[in-house]
Structure formats: C-alpha cells, structure tokens
Amino acid sequence: MGHFDITYKPYGNQAILVEWPAKIDENILKDIIIFKNKIEKNRIKVIVDIINTYNSLTIIYNTTIENIYDEILTLKSIKNQKNIATSEQNYLWNIPVCYDEKFGIDLQEISEIKKLTIDELIHLHSSAIYTVYFIGFLPGFLYLGGMDKRLHFPRKGSPRLNVSKGSVGIGGSQTGIYPSQSAGGWNIIGNSPISLFNVASDNPCFAKAGDKIRFAPIDFHEYQHIELQVAHGMYKLKKEMLDD
C-alpha cells in the first residue's frame, strides 16, 4: 500500500485534522480507514466523532484540547501500531438507474460536447465499478471515485435550485446520487428509485467508505415497479460481499 506523508494540525479548539496527499486514490482511502479503525479500537473516551474525506480525517473531541502536541503524539503512536483485525465487511452494491431522457436532462448536452452517443455515455457510466470514499454534502450522499475519464464534465456555472431526489449526476471527475431534493450544480444523467438515507434505520445509509457501487440500467417501466416496491418497504438492494 505504501507510505504516505501525512500532517497533523489543530482544527479549532476541539479537533485535529490529519491530512494525506490531496488526490483521489484507493490506497490513501485504505490507509485512512485503517487509521480510523485503530483510533476507534483504542476507545479514546474524549473522542466523539471521526470524519473522513478523500484525503483527511477530522478527529473531534468532547472538550477543548489542552495540549495539542501531546494529543498529536498519541495519534501518531496509534497510527504506527500494527494493523489490527477488523470484522467490518465491505460490499459491492448494485443500484438501479433509469437513464431515460425524462430524467437525464443533461444527457444531450454531454453527448454533443463529448461527441459520444447517449448509449455510449450510459454504457461508460454503468459499466464502471465505483469506490465510496466518504458520505457528505447531504445525509446519504455518496462521494464516488472511479468514473471513466471520458465522462469527466465540469459542474454547472449556475446551480439548479431544485434537483430531484434520486438524481444521478456528474460533477467534474465524480458521479453521485442526490439522496433528497436539493439545490445542486452537477449534470443530471438519470434517476434511481431507491432511498439512499433512512433516518429510522439502524444504519441510515446502507453504504460506507470502502464499499463499491455499480449502476444497473433499468427502463422506465422497471423504474416505476421498483419505486412502488420502495414505497411499500418491499425493495431490497442487491449486494455482493467483497474479498479483503
């Protein structure tokens, strides 16, 4: 996996920010998750939350950090511990997406600028396997890496005020699904009928950092069928266990 130069610095009075090289990289993600697991296994009672992004961990404490240097030394010591076994299992999730043009309102523009047919765009988007790097922006919004470079497309200069729940979008080198209606500047290419976030569930968001996502194209009739199943609590996402 390799060695990474990481930095530690205070982030306000009650948090420490740990940063890796600023790029989207699966090996960096693995290093971040291993470090996060080590901190959690050490059960430091004053830590209340650990938030990861593409290249950082923010470690939040329940009190003001009195001696930042001592706390950073503690974290460095934990980082250097031998890797610990974890029972956490990662999955490949199959998410149904309807790329019908009634949903994919930006498909035509991307097609023309990229000089790809709409069928080619859909194939490129749905044939990749994406990595979940972190969850943010909105509850249940999955930040995914691994999109084909031929689909990279800049965010809109003027964000839309209302993007529908389930909208599948492209923003720069990333793709993702809007878990709820929201303003947003990504280019919309389809819609998924599933619910990505359920506050009443033990695990409100089904996926976690390190999981994989694959988009499964469906037609509008199948979209309506799944939408009905979701509304009645009868739909279950397909998943496959990933090897370590």
164-170: Cβ within 8 A, 24+ apart: 164/191, 166/191, 166/192, 166/193, 166/194, 166/196, 167/103, 167/191, 168/97, 168/103, 168/192, 168/215, 169/106, 170/106, 170/110, 170/125
On average, the pLDDT of the chain sits at: 92
Q: How crowded is residue 74: how many other Cβ atoms within 10 Å of its Cβ?
A: 15
- The sign of the dihedral angle between the CA atoms of 224, 142, 214, 121 is positive
**Mean pLDDT, to the nearest integer, of 212-233?**
96
Read off the tokens for 190. Answer: 């389809």
pLDDT at 87 (0 to 100): 59
Domains detected in the chain: 7-79 (3.30.1360.40), 91-241 (2.40.100.10)
Residues paired with residue 134 on neighbouring β-strands, in sequence order: 143
More confident site: 121 or 3: 121
What integer is the mean pLDDT of 121-130? 97
Residue type (1 letter), 179:
P
Instruction: State what percent of residues in the chain have pLDDT above 90.
Output: 77
pLDDT digits (tens, 9 = 90+) for 167-197: 999 999 999 999 999 999 999 999 999 988 8
Cβ count within 10 A of residue 8: 19
pLDDT at site 59: 95
pLDDT-wise least confident of 42-51, 107-116, 159-168: 42-51
What value does the mean pLDDT take over residues 13-17?
96
**Residue 44 confidence class, pLDDT cut points 50, 70, 90:** confident
